[in-house]
Structure 1
Amino acid sequence: MLRLLLLCACLGALEAAAVEVHETSKSTGGNSSPISLLLENSKANGIQMFIGNVAVGTPPQVMSAVFDTQHALSYFPSIKCEDPGCKMRKRYDSSISSTYKEDGTPFTLPGQNISGFLSTDSLHVAGNTVASQTFGEGTSDNNTFDQMTRNDGTLGLGFGNDTLLTMVNQGLIPEQVFGLWLGRDPQGGELSLGAVNKDLYSGEMTWANIVNSAASWTVMADSIALDGHPEAALCPDGCSVIMASTTPYFMVSLERAKAISDILGGNSGCQTRPASTSWTAHTLSGLPTMQIKIGGRMMEMTPQQYTFVLTFGGQQLCASGFFGLPALTDQWLFGTLFMQQFYTAYDVENGRVGFADSV
């Protein structure tokens, strides 16, 4: 499925930005303080991801990672893996770590063609050591999409992950809360563990309770609409929204994707994927505003914010940020296009997601 996204993206090959990733830690007093990790806005092979450095083992083996709000399990490729998806990356070697503990339980990442076994070792985040953290040590990676990205592994932050609980129990952070700020291009981002960073959003935080913990960070949207187009019926009776930090897109059902495509393409604007053509960027001003209401809060996105503007041969073109998937019905996935406009917060103990205007 992820491979299909790449093939249909029409984003072209964007050059990777060679940006050094820095890590910082904030102190607010008390027994533990929030931890902040700065993220790089990475663009490579037509894929945009926000990546930060973590490390595994003793001595620390540094790995670049994406931070996944959909899945709870963290994953790093193993030195035991000889597949192309592993050999192109830094691989974790348990034999050189003095803090490694064998587990051996098999794991498979759903829909990603990645598998292996669980291992336990120290995890290092922004200068803080999480002792005895269990993660997936991947021994098989045949995910073609995964082979196009720049990260080594994934830090799982989906609802039900045990990383935050472990960090609280070990006195590293004050509570099971994290905040995610993704900067507008070409800015990077920040992952805040243990608290939200109030300097990175304005106004009040609006909280919405999760509706299905089995589906990770999922909340109900009161409505989703393109202003002035009630015929699209994008979310007529409310719909569930899954926060998806490792994809840039708004993923919707095929039916809703067609309705959106009819509006955007029919307005001489920007076509929805899969797209046979892209439209010139100067037509974006004529497209409707996207209106998203969650927890009684109305959030608006301009056409420039829900599309991609690319340059080919000196001409600016746009590509829609909406993607239709057969597996989706009433669900939406909100990716980084949304998160670049709105700061999102995740509260494990109270089972809720927060939204605020990003600065």
Structure 2
Amino acid sequence: MAMRLAPTHSMQYRHLGRTGLKVSVLSYGTWVSFGNQVDLKIAKVLLSRCRECGVNFFDTAEVYANGRAEEIMGQAIKELGWKRSDLVISTKIFWGGPGPNDKGLSRKHIIEGMRASLKRLSMDYVDIVFCHRPDVSTPIEETVRAMNHIIQQGWAFYWGTSEWNATQITEAWEVCNRLGLIGPAAEQPEYNLFARDKVEVEFAPLCQKYGLGLATWSPLASGVLTGKYAKDNIPSDSRFALENYKNLASRSLVDEVLVKVKNLQSIAVELGVPLPQLVIAWCVSNPNVSTVITGATKENQVLENMKSLEVIPLLTPEVLERIEAIVQSKPKQPDFYR
């Protein structure tokens, strides 16, 4: 039996936006992995390592592996015998199947999709349900009312958005305020050293005005920021080796990006930490971020990701400035924020 590494770092918890819900600053998501790269047996190991490190927030979606990700997560949690109230589980609704009413954010699909998700998860409720994309063909009022219905039924405690823009989130909040309904508590945007505009410019005022929480994903830019990729070297067990991700690989692995990654690597070496931990810690250091959703298909990746918490104190103003000088990705703030 493999020896367990006792976690040496203590997890931190933040409120999800302005809600009373506390989530671990590092969470675990099942995109790409569960049902594609990871079966039930491995899932139980990965989830167990996360829990041992203090992770309480686990994210999935109806579309991940066509529902299989939810089934694996639900089954794993059941077999591990965890107390449901110790966990914060989220799923996302938008792509539920091939039929004309199986996708989007109509009242019909939100309610049917939610019930189908709960069945796959073998749970009575999720803590948060996210609208996985904006649906421009459904009035926001219809979506908002359906989400509030789900909360009234006790099938979810909070609702949020994923990959919406500031205008759409603002519109949802305006409708909620007008109708006396519960607004979206959180948004799930991509956030890493190469994708910053949404979190740092677009959503910053919404975090202040509506108390919007941010559950960010892709802290490693789909693995580009791990330093494991080179133009002519794509590890066979990595995400970019998967057929569906070949395009992403060719777009991401360009010389300009790889040079920046190499230079970031030198800062990591100097600080004596692995590059992935440095860039995950950088994401956590943004106070508007409630939680950073990490992914992992191997036990050691989970443990390595969790050690990022130890790197946060090393991010001095001087180190942050050096990172900025390398990536040169700091978004220009609109004049009226100055």
Q: TM-score, normalised by structure 1?
A: 0.28
More strand per residue: 1
Q: TM-score, normalised by structure 2?
A: 0.29
More helix per residue: 2
